[in-house]
Amino acid sequence: MAVLLGMIVGALFAGNGAVADAYSGGDFRYQFVAQQNVARASMGLPPLVWDERVASYARWYAQARRGDCALIAERRVAHRSKLKES
């Protein structure tokens, strides 16, 4: 699942050569956040910052769900996702 997510994110940003070239060989986390912040700035939204605690939880969750791909809301986590459940 993590590989699939990486491929999707990579495909989304593959067309933006200027940003890809500026950060080639750099930290993927910075590349991802930088791209998001370009889009957010164009909409007048504040920038995002990488949160390793959230990233660690996302890696754990992807690993836990890799066998069934079930999207299950975890109610017991100390930090909450900014995504709203629908």
For 44, the domain range is 2-65
What is the per-residue pLDDT for 68?
A: 83
* Position 44 in a domain: yes
Phi-psi label, residue 75: left if phi above 0, alpha if psi -120 to 50, beta otherwise:
alpha
Overall domain count for the chain: 1
* Position 73 in a domain: no
Q: Could you tell me if 48 and 36 are in contact, meaning their C-beta atoms sit under 8 angstroms apart?
A: yes
What is the per-residue pLDDT for 43?
A: 96
* pLDDT in 10s for each residue of the chain, 86 residues: 555 555 555 555 554 444 444 445 568 888 889 999 999 999 999 999 989 999 899 899 889 888 887 777 666 555 555 544 43
What is the per-residue pLDDT for 70?
A: 75
* Position 33 in a domain: yes
* Position 57 in a domain: yes
* Position 58 in a domain: yes
* Position 54 in a domain: yes
What is the per-residue pLDDT for 23?
A: 47
